[in-house]
Structure 1
Amino acid sequence: MRDLLGLLAPDIMNIIWRIRAKDPTAFADAVEFTEQHPEIWELWHTLAYAYEARGEYTAAIAALTRAIVLSPREPVSFMDRGGCALMAGHYERAMADFSLGLILCDELDWDDYREALHFLRAEAFVQLGKKAEALSDLAHVPHDYVFWTIQVRSKAELLALCGEGAASSGGMDGLERRPEEVITRESLRVPSTKGNLVFEDWAVLPESPDEEESELAMEMGTAGLEAIDAMLLKYTRDRYLKAARVIIDAAQASGVPYSDETRIRLYARRLIVLANAGALEARGNLHRPRFSEVRLPEQP
């Protein structure tokens, strides 16, 4: 199934781009692809994106529910379904999905979605008038956090809606404010509680690929690298997302395990290539995937 998804990836990317360009035929193609391969949960995400672009949030929620049935331990599915519920004004349902996503993050020991899930759930709590709960969630995100909820929101805006002032301190653990250090492969890692090294533990992506990464890129060839690019673009949205989240989503959808450090570094490297080529917009240093963001470029 992973091989099939790899073959479909360029067509999926094409559909997403056409949806953003308001091509009326793109929606029908999203439906057709999903009908042809209903066993692939990622295609249900693409269909949900197509519905969401049309403002049909109930249908998008149904598509994401099907994705969850097929692959029930994907935090991103609960985050996206909760986001659609939030846009539809179903705040209790949105809060429940964000909570389930956070539970999965704990069970899977994943950090990539935590901040977004806390931030989105804070919006749901604000809409429900539960300011204390919203403040508790906002304590888990950096003071300068900005994300799309029902509109582009900053942490300061949500704090103001809770009757609080702006955040008094950052939540970036000081990494961005620290002077650059000599970077070695070992210095990029910290011990993992799972006994191996995972992407979330990396502080900095090296400026240049090492020998293993270079050999992998040569082995994959142009077609393989283009398939990676297609998956990265598929999991990039028209709103800013953490670069780490996009990389992990694309790698996971391609069947890359967390333990395959070299391959995940290659995904991170290709994200930089896409940004340099203008295929996506970035803010922050993409060599620090946890502290930078990407989105699809705005259409003229």
Structure 2
Amino acid sequence: MRDKQKIRKEIILLARQQPDLALDRVNSLLIEFPNEVWTWSLRSDVYHTSGDLENAMSDIDKAIRIRFDEPSTHATKARYCIQKSDFEGAIFSLSNAIEIGEKLRFSYFDSWCRFNRAFCYCKIGDFEAAKEDLSAVDDNEQTWIDRLRSKAELLEACRDRRLD
């Protein structure tokens, strides 16, 4: 079998131009690999790329059920929750990703997860929890959430006790 990352990249690029064809290809992969996290995650990405957040969420949940201890699937679910303004759901998923990452000594997602969780805490008004997460984030950190956000902006929101 060809490299999973290469297949993923090809299908995601195809999804931007021909989402139905991309979905057909990933469905074929799911027939071949029905119990693999990467195939469910990939179909979730295809649905997300085509704007179908409901099916994207359903498939990422299937990927999580197959292998709970994969931090990237929890981070993806959190991103979808944020898009749906389900900030409590996002906090739950981000907390799972952080906890799993710590257990696996896999810090790749830690800063991104803490930054996004701080954003969610601000959205629900828990500014103390947001500040705690931001204390573990690099001062120059910024990422795209609903728009490009910076650590400094989130800290200001904590001081002002409101996030625009």
Q: Which TM-score tier does this pair reach, normalised by the shorter chain?
A: 0.7 to 0.9
* SS of equivalent residue, structure 2 residue 159: coil
Correspondences of 1:2-81 after superposition (within 5 Å): 4=1, 6=2, 9-20=5-16, 22-24=17-19, 25-81=21-77
* SS of equivalent residue, structure 2 residue 89: helix
What whole-Å deviation, never above 9, does each CA across 1:123-176 have from its counterpart, x for those lacking one? 111111111111111111111101122332111222222236xxxxxxxxxxxx
**Coordinate RMSD, CA, aligned:** 1.8
Between Structure 1 and Structure 2, whose CA radius of gyration is higher? 1
Q: 1:65 to 1:14 in 2, by over 3 A?
A: same
CA distance in 1, matches of 2:106, 2:3: 28
What is the deviation of 1:71? 1.6
Q: Does 1:149 align with 2:145?
A: yes
96, 110, 113: which one aligns with 1:114:
110
What are structure 1's unaligned runs of at least 5 residues? 165-300
Correspondences of 1:64-213 after superposition (within 5 Å): 64-163=60-159
Residue of structure 2 in register with 1:261 after alignment: none
Q: 1:155 to 1:9 in 2, by over 3 A?
A: closer
Equivalenced residues, count = 159
Q: 1:144 to 1:33 in 2, by over 3 A?
A: same
Q: 1:26 to 1:118 in 2, by over 3 A?
A: same
Identity score, percent? 22
What whole-Å deviation, never above 9, does each CA across 1:170-212 have from its counterpart, x for those lacking one? xxxxxxxxxxxxxxxxxxxxxxxxxxxxxxxxxxxxxxxxxxx
Correspondences of 1:195-274 after superposition (within 5 Å): none
CA distance in 1, matches of 2:5, 2:142: 29
What is the deviation of 1:70? 1.5
CA distance in 2, matches of 1:147, 1:115: 10
* SS of equivalent residue, structure 1 residue 55: coil
Bigger proportion of residues as helix: 2
What are structure 2's unaligned runs of at least 5 residues? none
Q: Is the 8 A contact 1:118 1:137 kept in 2?
A: yes
Q: 1:105 to 1:11 in 2, by over 3 A?
A: closer
